[in-house]
Amino acid sequence: EAQVTQNPRYLITVTGKKLTVTCSQNMNHEYMSWYRQDPGLGLRQIYYSMNVEVTDKGDVPEGYKVSRKEKRNFPLILESPSPNQTSLYFCASSLRGRGHSGANVLTFGAGSRLTVL
């Protein structure tokens, strides 16, 4: 089954304790992206990747890091989490990046709910 898999689905952590949210897709998609969802703000893009070893900042990149060493994986790293990073996080992928046509449909993971105390 074609899907985007995120782990963990739920996580409670404390301020300053490094954590990684993994994201993996099995569709051979070039484009991957991370979003955070907060009430009333919709989805805001954190980072995206057009292909392997190509990553760029989205709208709200502060406090996050990403890497794209393999096509299928795009982990989100919080080096020193803070309470304002408490949110629902989504990973998504599409066949091509928005720079190619803008018409590519995103496939989303089920989400990772993170609480930072």
SS3 assignment for 71-104: CCECCEEECCCCHHHCEEEEEEEECCCCCCCCCC
Smallest distance from the beta carbon of 110 to other proteins, in angstroms? 5
Which of 89, 92, 93, 84 shows the shortest CA–CA distance to 116? Answer: 84
Applying CB under 8 A, the residues found at the interface with other proteins are: 4, 35, 40-45, 90, 92, 98, 102-103, 105-106, 108-111
Smallest distance from the beta carbon of 112 to other proteins, in angstroms? 10
Smallest distance from the beta carbon of 5 to other proteins, in angstroms? 11
Pick between residue 23 and residue 78 the one whose CB is nearest to other proteins: 23
